[in-house]
Structure 1
Amino acid sequence: MPTLGLIHNSPVLAPIFNEIAARIMPDVRLLHFVDESTIKNTIAAGYLQKATKRQVIGLVGSAFNAGCDVALVTCSSIGPAVDMAAELYEQPVLRVDRAMAEKAVATGTRIGVVATLSTTLTPTADLVRLVAHEQGKAVEIVEHLCDGAFAAVMAGDGATHDRIVGEALTEAMRGMDVIILAQASMARVVAALPEGAVAAPVLSSPELGMIRARDVLAGLPQ
Protein backbone atom coordinates (compact mmCIF):
# COMPACT_ATOMS: atom_id res chain seq x y z
CA MET A 1 0.00 0.00 0.00
CA PRO A 2 1.42 3.45 -0.90
CA THR A 3 2.30 5.50 2.17
CA LEU A 4 2.15 9.29 2.56
CA GLY A 5 4.05 10.96 5.37
CA LEU A 6 2.47 14.17 6.67
CA ILE A 7 4.70 16.52 8.65
CA HIS A 8 2.75 18.93 10.85
CA ASN A 9 3.54 21.69 13.34
CA SER A 10 0.38 21.03 15.37
CA PRO A 11 -1.57 17.91 16.32
CA VAL A 12 -4.85 19.64 15.41
CA LEU A 13 -3.97 19.34 11.71
CA ALA A 14 -3.96 15.53 11.59
CA PRO A 15 -7.79 15.14 11.61
CA ILE A 16 -8.15 17.73 8.80
CA PHE A 17 -5.82 15.77 6.54
CA ASN A 18 -7.30 12.41 7.59
CA GLU A 19 -10.72 13.65 6.41
CA ILE A 20 -9.36 14.77 3.04
CA ALA A 21 -7.45 11.50 2.58
CA ALA A 22 -10.54 9.42 3.36
CA ARG A 23 -12.33 11.20 0.50
CA ILE A 24 -9.68 11.42 -2.19
CA MET A 25 -7.13 8.66 -1.46
CA PRO A 26 -8.75 5.92 0.63
CA ASP A 27 -6.21 3.36 -0.62
CA VAL A 28 -3.22 5.34 0.76
CA ARG A 29 -1.76 4.74 4.23
CA LEU A 30 -1.04 7.92 6.22
CA LEU A 31 1.68 8.44 8.81
CA HIS A 32 1.66 11.70 10.79
CA PHE A 33 4.78 13.33 12.18
CA VAL A 34 4.14 16.27 14.53
CA ASP A 35 6.76 18.71 15.83
CA GLU A 36 5.41 21.93 17.32
CA SER A 37 8.90 23.39 17.74
CA THR A 38 9.14 24.13 14.02
CA ILE A 39 6.42 26.78 14.14
CA LYS A 40 6.84 27.94 17.76
CA ASN A 41 10.56 28.60 17.35
CA THR A 42 9.95 30.33 14.01
CA ILE A 43 7.32 32.63 15.55
CA ALA A 44 9.56 33.37 18.55
CA ALA A 45 12.54 34.24 16.33
CA GLY A 46 10.48 36.03 13.69
CA TYR A 47 12.18 34.10 10.90
CA LEU A 48 13.11 30.56 9.87
CA GLN A 49 16.30 29.69 11.77
CA LYS A 50 19.02 27.30 10.59
CA ALA A 51 18.29 24.96 13.49
CA THR A 52 14.63 24.75 12.42
CA LYS A 53 15.65 24.06 8.83
CA ARG A 54 17.76 21.13 10.08
CA GLN A 55 14.82 19.97 12.18
CA VAL A 56 12.49 19.96 9.16
CA ILE A 57 15.03 18.09 7.03
CA GLY A 58 15.35 15.53 9.84
CA LEU A 59 11.57 15.11 10.06
CA VAL A 60 11.41 14.42 6.32
CA GLY A 61 14.15 11.84 6.78
CA SER A 62 12.20 10.24 9.63
CA ALA A 63 9.16 9.92 7.35
CA PHE A 64 11.19 8.11 4.71
CA ASN A 65 12.91 5.92 7.33
CA ALA A 66 9.43 4.92 8.51
CA GLY A 67 8.55 3.68 5.04
CA CYS A 68 6.79 6.67 3.47
CA ASP A 69 6.90 6.96 -0.32
CA VAL A 70 6.17 10.70 -0.38
CA ALA A 71 6.50 13.40 2.32
CA LEU A 72 4.08 16.33 2.45
CA VAL A 73 4.93 19.22 4.80
CA THR A 74 1.73 20.96 5.87
CA CYS A 75 3.17 24.24 7.25
CA SER A 76 3.79 27.23 4.95
CA SER A 77 6.09 29.04 7.42
CA ILE A 78 8.84 26.48 6.92
CA GLY A 79 8.53 26.24 3.13
CA PRO A 80 12.16 27.16 2.34
CA ALA A 81 13.34 24.26 4.52
CA VAL A 82 11.04 21.92 2.59
CA ASP A 83 12.70 23.02 -0.65
CA MET A 84 16.08 22.16 0.91
CA ALA A 85 14.83 18.73 1.96
CA ALA A 86 13.57 18.10 -1.56
CA GLU A 87 17.15 18.56 -2.80
CA LEU A 88 18.52 16.02 -0.30
CA TYR A 89 16.22 13.01 -0.69
CA GLU A 90 15.49 10.77 -3.66
CA GLN A 91 11.81 10.45 -2.76
CA PRO A 92 9.35 13.30 -3.48
CA VAL A 93 9.14 16.05 -0.82
CA LEU A 94 6.12 18.33 -1.27
CA ARG A 95 5.08 21.73 0.07
CA VAL A 96 1.38 21.82 0.92
CA ASP A 97 1.01 25.31 -0.60
CA ARG A 98 2.76 24.74 -3.95
CA ALA A 99 -0.35 23.54 -5.81
CA MET A 100 -2.34 26.45 -4.33
CA ALA A 101 0.25 28.97 -5.56
CA GLU A 102 0.21 27.42 -9.04
CA LYS A 103 -3.57 27.57 -9.21
CA ALA A 104 -3.57 31.20 -8.03
CA VAL A 105 -1.10 32.25 -10.75
CA ALA A 106 -3.17 30.38 -13.34
CA THR A 107 -6.39 32.09 -12.14
CA GLY A 108 -5.50 35.78 -12.30
CA THR A 109 -2.93 38.56 -12.08
CA ARG A 110 -4.13 40.39 -8.92
CA ILE A 111 -3.48 37.87 -6.18
CA GLY A 112 -4.35 38.54 -2.55
CA VAL A 113 -2.47 36.70 0.19
CA VAL A 114 -4.07 36.70 3.64
CA ALA A 115 -2.35 35.43 6.78
CA THR A 116 -2.57 35.72 10.55
CA LEU A 117 1.22 35.39 11.00
CA SER A 118 3.95 37.41 9.28
CA THR A 119 6.17 34.31 9.37
CA THR A 120 3.60 32.60 7.13
CA LEU A 121 2.63 35.60 5.00
CA THR A 122 6.11 36.24 3.63
CA PRO A 123 6.99 32.68 2.51
CA THR A 124 3.55 32.22 0.94
CA ALA A 125 3.81 35.46 -1.05
CA ASP A 126 7.39 34.56 -2.02
CA LEU A 127 6.19 31.19 -3.32
CA VAL A 128 3.55 32.89 -5.49
CA ARG A 129 6.25 35.21 -6.88
CA LEU A 130 8.49 32.22 -7.61
CA VAL A 131 5.72 30.33 -9.42
CA ALA A 132 4.81 33.44 -11.44
CA HIS A 133 8.47 33.90 -12.38
CA GLU A 134 8.76 30.24 -13.42
CA GLN A 135 5.70 30.64 -15.63
CA GLY A 136 6.84 33.97 -17.05
CA LYS A 137 3.69 35.72 -15.81
CA ALA A 138 3.51 39.22 -14.35
CA VAL A 139 1.36 39.33 -11.21
CA GLU A 140 0.48 41.88 -8.57
CA ILE A 141 0.53 40.43 -5.07
CA VAL A 142 -1.37 42.21 -2.30
CA GLU A 143 -0.32 40.95 1.13
CA HIS A 144 -2.55 41.38 4.17
CA LEU A 145 -1.72 40.48 7.75
CA CYS A 146 -4.73 39.97 10.01
CA ASP A 147 -3.41 41.76 13.09
CA GLY A 148 -4.61 40.22 16.33
CA ALA A 149 -6.20 37.14 14.78
CA PHE A 150 -3.46 34.68 15.73
CA ALA A 151 -3.22 35.98 19.30
CA ALA A 152 -6.99 35.65 19.62
CA VAL A 153 -7.14 32.05 18.46
CA MET A 154 -4.18 31.13 20.69
CA ALA A 155 -6.12 32.62 23.61
CA GLY A 156 -9.11 30.45 22.74
CA ASP A 157 -11.12 33.29 21.20
CA GLY A 158 -12.02 31.75 17.85
CA ALA A 159 -14.84 34.23 17.28
CA THR A 160 -12.47 37.23 17.25
CA HIS A 161 -10.06 35.38 14.95
CA ASP A 162 -12.89 34.63 12.54
CA ARG A 163 -14.19 38.21 12.62
CA ILE A 164 -10.76 39.72 11.84
CA VAL A 165 -10.10 37.24 9.01
CA GLY A 166 -13.63 37.73 7.67
CA GLU A 167 -13.19 41.51 7.55
CA ALA A 168 -9.89 41.08 5.70
CA LEU A 169 -11.51 38.84 3.09
CA THR A 170 -14.52 41.09 2.51
CA GLU A 171 -12.82 44.52 2.82
CA ALA A 172 -9.02 44.42 2.32
CA MET A 173 -9.23 41.91 -0.52
CA ARG A 174 -11.71 43.78 -2.72
CA GLY A 175 -10.71 43.86 -6.38
CA MET A 176 -8.58 40.72 -6.30
CA ASP A 177 -8.79 38.11 -9.07
CA VAL A 178 -8.06 35.35 -6.56
CA ILE A 179 -7.32 35.16 -2.82
CA ILE A 180 -5.11 32.62 -1.14
CA LEU A 181 -5.15 31.73 2.54
CA ALA A 182 -1.66 31.35 3.95
CA GLN A 183 -2.93 29.14 6.79
CA ALA A 184 -5.23 26.16 6.48
CA SER A 185 -6.91 27.15 9.74
CA MET A 186 -8.46 30.18 8.01
CA ALA A 187 -10.59 28.12 5.61
CA ARG A 188 -13.43 27.74 8.12
CA VAL A 189 -13.96 31.53 8.00
CA VAL A 190 -14.69 31.41 4.26
CA ALA A 191 -17.21 28.62 4.78
CA ALA A 192 -19.02 30.69 7.42
CA LEU A 193 -19.32 33.90 5.35
CA PRO A 194 -22.60 34.65 3.54
CA GLU A 195 -22.69 33.48 -0.06
CA GLY A 196 -21.30 36.17 -2.35
CA ALA A 197 -19.54 38.04 0.48
CA VAL A 198 -16.20 37.45 -1.24
CA ALA A 199 -16.36 37.99 -5.00
CA ALA A 200 -13.03 36.36 -5.86
CA PRO A 201 -12.30 32.62 -5.59
CA VAL A 202 -10.57 31.77 -2.30
CA LEU A 203 -7.94 29.03 -2.31
CA SER A 204 -6.76 27.01 0.68
CA SER A 205 -3.82 24.65 0.69
CA PRO A 206 -4.87 21.34 2.36
CA GLU A 207 -7.20 20.00 -0.34
CA LEU A 208 -5.03 21.16 -3.28
CA GLY A 209 -1.87 19.91 -1.55
CA MET A 210 -3.38 16.48 -0.90
CA ILE A 211 -4.60 16.18 -4.51
CA ARG A 212 -1.02 16.91 -5.62
CA ALA A 213 0.32 14.28 -3.20
CA ARG A 214 -2.19 11.73 -4.49
CA ASP A 215 -1.14 12.42 -8.08
CA VAL A 216 2.56 12.13 -7.22
CA LEU A 217 1.95 8.83 -5.40
CA ALA A 218 0.00 7.52 -8.38
CA GLY A 219 2.89 8.35 -10.68
CA LEU A 220 5.50 6.44 -8.69
CA PRO A 221 6.79 3.10 -10.06
CA GLN A 222 4.77 0.24 -8.60
Structure 2
Amino acid sequence: MSRKQVAIVYTSRVTVPGTLELADEILKDYRIVNIIDDSLLDDVLAAGKLTRDVTRRIVQYCLAAEDGGADVILSQCSSVGEAIDVARAVVRVPIVKIDEPMAEEAVRLGPRVAVAATLPTTLDPTCRLIERTATAMEKQVRITRVLAEGAFDKLRAGDTAAHNSMVMAKLEEVRDAVDVIVLAQGSMAVLVPELQDWGKPVLTSPRLGIERVRQVLESQ
Protein backbone atom coordinates (compact mmCIF):
# COMPACT_ATOMS: atom_id res chain seq x y z
CA MET A 1 0.00 0.00 0.00
CA SER A 2 1.45 3.37 -1.02
CA ARG A 3 2.05 6.02 1.59
CA LYS A 4 -0.22 9.04 1.77
CA GLN A 5 1.30 12.19 0.34
CA VAL A 6 1.60 15.73 1.69
CA ALA A 7 2.48 18.60 -0.64
CA ILE A 8 4.00 21.66 1.04
CA VAL A 9 3.83 24.96 -0.84
CA TYR A 10 6.51 27.50 0.10
CA THR A 11 7.01 31.12 -0.94
CA SER A 12 10.49 31.46 0.60
CA ARG A 13 13.50 29.19 1.05
CA VAL A 14 14.06 30.56 4.57
CA THR A 15 11.36 28.35 6.06
CA VAL A 16 12.19 25.13 4.22
CA PRO A 17 14.76 23.60 6.63
CA GLY A 18 12.71 24.17 9.78
CA THR A 19 9.53 22.91 8.14
CA LEU A 20 11.19 19.74 6.89
CA GLU A 21 12.72 19.08 10.30
CA LEU A 22 9.25 19.16 11.84
CA ALA A 23 7.83 17.09 8.99
CA ASP A 24 10.48 14.43 9.61
CA GLU A 25 9.32 14.28 13.22
CA ILE A 26 5.54 14.60 12.87
CA LEU A 27 4.85 13.26 9.36
CA LYS A 28 7.52 10.56 9.17
CA ASP A 29 5.03 7.96 7.92
CA TYR A 30 3.98 10.08 4.95
CA ARG A 31 5.58 11.07 1.67
CA ILE A 32 6.51 14.77 1.52
CA VAL A 33 6.57 16.70 -1.75
CA ASN A 34 7.96 20.25 -1.67
CA ILE A 35 6.81 22.99 -4.04
CA ILE A 36 9.07 26.05 -3.68
CA ASP A 37 8.66 29.34 -5.54
CA ASP A 38 10.56 32.05 -3.69
CA SER A 39 9.51 34.67 -6.24
CA LEU A 40 6.02 34.60 -4.73
CA LEU A 41 6.96 36.30 -1.48
CA ASP A 42 9.24 38.72 -3.33
CA ASP A 43 6.30 39.74 -5.52
CA VAL A 44 4.02 40.19 -2.51
CA LEU A 45 6.64 42.34 -0.78
CA ALA A 46 7.21 44.42 -3.91
CA ALA A 47 3.48 45.09 -4.26
CA GLY A 48 2.95 45.54 -0.53
CA LYS A 49 0.00 43.16 -0.66
CA LEU A 50 -1.26 39.90 -2.08
CA THR A 51 -1.83 40.35 -5.82
CA ARG A 52 -4.07 38.65 -8.36
CA ASP A 53 -1.03 37.21 -10.11
CA VAL A 54 0.34 35.65 -6.93
CA THR A 55 -3.12 34.33 -6.06
CA ARG A 56 -3.42 32.74 -9.50
CA ARG A 57 -0.02 31.08 -9.17
CA ILE A 58 -0.81 29.78 -5.68
CA VAL A 59 -4.00 28.22 -7.04
CA GLN A 60 -2.04 26.65 -9.90
CA TYR A 61 0.48 25.14 -7.50
CA CYS A 62 -2.30 23.69 -5.38
CA LEU A 63 -3.97 22.21 -8.44
CA ALA A 64 -0.62 20.74 -9.52
CA ALA A 65 -0.17 19.24 -6.05
CA GLU A 66 -3.62 17.65 -6.28
CA ASP A 67 -2.85 16.31 -9.76
CA GLY A 68 0.42 14.92 -8.40
CA GLY A 69 -1.42 12.78 -5.88
CA ALA A 70 -1.38 14.89 -2.71
CA ASP A 71 -3.82 13.77 -0.03
CA VAL A 72 -3.32 17.03 1.89
CA ILE A 73 -1.71 20.33 0.89
CA LEU A 74 0.04 22.54 3.45
CA SER A 75 0.41 26.23 2.65
CA GLN A 76 3.52 27.31 4.52
CA CYS A 77 3.23 31.08 4.05
CA SER A 78 0.99 33.37 6.09
CA SER A 79 1.30 36.22 3.59
CA VAL A 80 -0.70 34.26 0.99
CA GLY A 81 -3.34 32.82 3.30
CA GLU A 82 -6.15 34.65 1.55
CA ALA A 83 -5.03 33.12 -1.77
CA ILE A 84 -5.60 29.73 -0.17
CA ASP A 85 -9.24 30.70 0.40
CA VAL A 86 -9.52 30.95 -3.38
CA ALA A 87 -7.66 27.67 -3.91
CA ARG A 88 -9.98 25.85 -1.52
CA ALA A 89 -12.90 26.66 -3.80
CA VAL A 90 -11.37 24.73 -6.71
CA VAL A 91 -9.09 22.08 -5.17
CA ARG A 92 -10.75 18.88 -4.01
CA VAL A 93 -8.20 17.77 -1.40
CA PRO A 94 -7.89 19.49 2.00
CA ILE A 95 -5.59 22.52 2.19
CA VAL A 96 -4.21 23.43 5.61
CA LYS A 97 -3.03 26.97 6.26
CA ILE A 98 -0.04 26.69 8.54
CA ASP A 99 -1.29 29.49 10.79
CA GLU A 100 -4.92 28.44 11.29
CA PRO A 101 -4.31 26.23 14.36
CA MET A 102 -2.14 28.99 15.84
CA ALA A 103 -4.97 31.49 15.41
CA GLU A 104 -7.39 29.15 17.18
CA GLU A 105 -5.00 28.70 20.10
CA ALA A 106 -4.41 32.46 20.33
CA VAL A 107 -8.15 33.07 20.64
CA ARG A 108 -8.40 30.42 23.37
CA LEU A 109 -5.52 31.96 25.34
CA GLY A 110 -6.51 35.62 24.86
CA PRO A 111 -8.22 37.99 24.92
CA ARG A 112 -5.11 40.21 24.78
CA VAL A 113 -3.10 38.96 21.80
CA ALA A 114 0.20 40.36 20.54
CA VAL A 115 0.73 39.58 16.87
CA ALA A 116 4.39 40.00 15.95
CA ALA A 117 5.70 40.01 12.40
CA THR A 118 8.76 41.09 10.46
CA LEU A 119 6.79 41.70 7.27
CA PRO A 120 3.75 43.98 6.97
CA THR A 121 2.37 41.64 4.33
CA THR A 122 2.08 38.97 7.03
CA LEU A 123 0.95 41.18 9.90
CA ASP A 124 -2.30 42.35 8.31
CA PRO A 125 -3.59 38.95 7.11
CA THR A 126 -2.65 37.28 10.40
CA CYS A 127 -4.59 39.88 12.38
CA ARG A 128 -7.57 39.40 10.07
CA LEU A 129 -7.32 35.62 10.47
CA ILE A 130 -7.34 35.87 14.26
CA GLU A 131 -10.29 38.27 14.17
CA ARG A 132 -12.26 35.92 11.89
CA THR A 133 -11.33 32.97 14.06
CA ALA A 134 -12.52 34.79 17.18
CA THR A 135 -15.84 35.54 15.50
CA ALA A 136 -16.25 31.90 14.50
CA MET A 137 -15.42 30.78 18.05
CA GLU A 138 -17.74 33.46 19.51
CA LYS A 139 -14.88 34.99 21.50
CA GLN A 140 -13.52 38.50 21.92
CA VAL A 141 -9.90 39.43 21.25
CA ARG A 142 -7.87 42.62 21.52
CA ILE A 143 -4.94 42.55 19.14
CA THR A 144 -1.72 44.49 19.65
CA ARG A 145 0.27 44.71 16.42
CA VAL A 146 4.06 44.41 16.61
CA LEU A 147 6.11 44.99 13.45
CA ALA A 148 9.89 44.61 13.48
CA GLU A 149 10.70 46.16 10.13
CA GLY A 150 13.96 45.06 8.57
CA ALA A 151 14.32 41.95 10.72
CA PHE A 152 13.32 39.58 7.92
CA ASP A 153 16.08 40.95 5.71
CA LYS A 154 18.57 40.20 8.48
CA LEU A 155 17.31 36.63 8.75
CA ARG A 156 17.39 36.11 5.00
CA ALA A 157 20.99 37.35 5.01
CA GLY A 158 21.85 34.76 7.66
CA ASP A 159 22.07 37.11 10.65
CA THR A 160 19.72 35.31 13.03
CA ALA A 161 21.08 37.14 16.08
CA ALA A 162 20.23 40.57 14.63
CA HIS A 163 16.78 39.33 13.58
CA ASN A 164 16.07 38.04 17.07
CA SER A 165 17.35 41.18 18.76
CA MET A 166 15.15 43.43 16.62
CA VAL A 167 12.01 41.40 17.29
CA MET A 168 12.72 41.01 21.01
CA ALA A 169 13.11 44.77 21.39
CA LYS A 170 9.66 45.31 19.88
CA LEU A 171 8.07 42.59 22.00
CA GLU A 172 9.51 44.07 25.19
CA GLU A 173 7.40 47.17 24.53
CA VAL A 174 4.14 45.20 24.82
CA ARG A 175 5.16 42.33 27.07
CA ASP A 176 3.16 43.37 30.13
CA ALA A 177 0.03 44.31 28.19
CA VAL A 178 -0.77 40.96 26.55
CA ASP A 179 -1.80 37.42 27.51
CA VAL A 180 -0.27 35.57 24.57
CA ILE A 181 2.32 36.27 21.90
CA VAL A 182 1.78 35.14 18.32
CA LEU A 183 4.84 34.92 16.07
CA ALA A 184 3.05 35.40 12.79
CA GLN A 185 5.69 33.99 10.43
CA GLY A 186 7.11 30.49 10.40
CA SER A 187 10.54 32.05 10.02
CA MET A 188 10.14 33.59 13.48
CA ALA A 189 10.18 30.20 15.22
CA VAL A 190 13.91 30.77 15.78
CA LEU A 191 12.84 33.16 18.58
CA VAL A 192 11.13 30.53 20.71
CA PRO A 193 14.18 29.58 22.84
CA GLU A 194 14.71 33.23 23.78
CA LEU A 195 11.07 33.65 24.83
CA GLN A 196 10.71 30.51 26.95
CA ASP A 197 11.31 32.33 30.24
CA TRP A 198 8.90 35.20 29.59
CA GLY A 199 6.02 33.63 31.47
CA LYS A 200 3.71 34.15 28.49
CA PRO A 201 2.46 31.57 26.00
CA VAL A 202 4.34 31.98 22.73
CA LEU A 203 2.69 30.53 19.63
CA THR A 204 4.36 29.70 16.34
CA SER A 205 2.69 28.27 13.29
CA PRO A 206 5.00 25.47 12.02
CA ARG A 207 4.50 22.79 14.69
CA LEU A 208 0.79 23.48 15.20
CA GLY A 209 0.19 23.59 11.45
CA ILE A 210 2.02 20.35 10.74
CA GLU A 211 0.25 18.63 13.62
CA ARG A 212 -3.04 19.72 12.02
CA VAL A 213 -1.91 18.12 8.74
CA ARG A 214 -1.35 14.83 10.57
CA GLN A 215 -4.80 15.06 12.15
CA VAL A 216 -6.37 15.56 8.71
CA LEU A 217 -4.45 12.60 7.29
CA GLU A 218 -5.45 10.35 10.18
CA SER A 219 -9.11 11.29 9.72
CA GLN A 220 -9.17 10.35 6.02
Instruction: Place the TM-score, normalised by the shorter chain, in its bin.
Output: over 0.9
CA distance in 1: counterparts of 2:187 and 2:13, whole angstroms: 13
Question: Counterpart in 1 of 2:114?
Answer: 112
Aligned counterpart for 1:161 among listed residues 139, 160, 163? 163
1:107 aligned partner, one-letter code: L
CA-CA distance at 1:179 after TM superposition: 0.8
Identity of aligned residues (%): 39
Match of 1:42 in 2: 44
Counterparts of 1:178-217 in structure 2 under 5 Å?
Answer: 178-193=180-195, 195-196=196-197, 198-217=198-217
Give per-residue Cα distances to partners, 1:121-160, cap 9 Å, x unaligned. Answer: 0000100000001111111011110122123334443322
Unpaired runs of at least 5, structure 2: none
C-alpha contact 2:66 2:92 (8 A) present in aligned 1: no
Aligned residue type for 2:116: V
Aligned residue-pair number: 218
More deviation, 157-166/177-186: 157-166
User: Residues 58 and 84 of structure 2 are in contact (CA less than 8 Å); yes or no, is this contact kept in structure 1?
Assistant: yes
- Segments of 4+ in structure 1 off by > 4 A? none
How large is the Cα RMSD of the aligned pairs? 1.4
- In structure 1, stretches of 5+ residues that fail to align are none
Deviations 1:155-209 (A, max 9, x none): 443322110111223333322111111111112122135x52x231000000000
| Aligned pair partner of 2:32 in 30, 33, 51 | 30
Bigger mean CA deviation after superposition, 122-131 or 15-24: 15-24
Q: Secondary structure at the match of 2:50?
A: coil
8 Å CA contact 1:111–1:141 kept in 2: the answer is yes
- The 8 Å contact of residues 14 and 187 in structure 2, kept in 1 or not, is answered as no
Q: TM-score, normalised by structure 1?
A: 0.93
CA contact (8 A) 2:116 2:181 kept: yes
Q: Distance in 1 between matches of 2:174 and 2:84?
A: 30
The amino acid that maps onto 2:40 is: T
Write the deviation string for residues 21-55 of structure 1: whole angstroms up to 9, x where unpaired: 22222111100000112110000000101011000
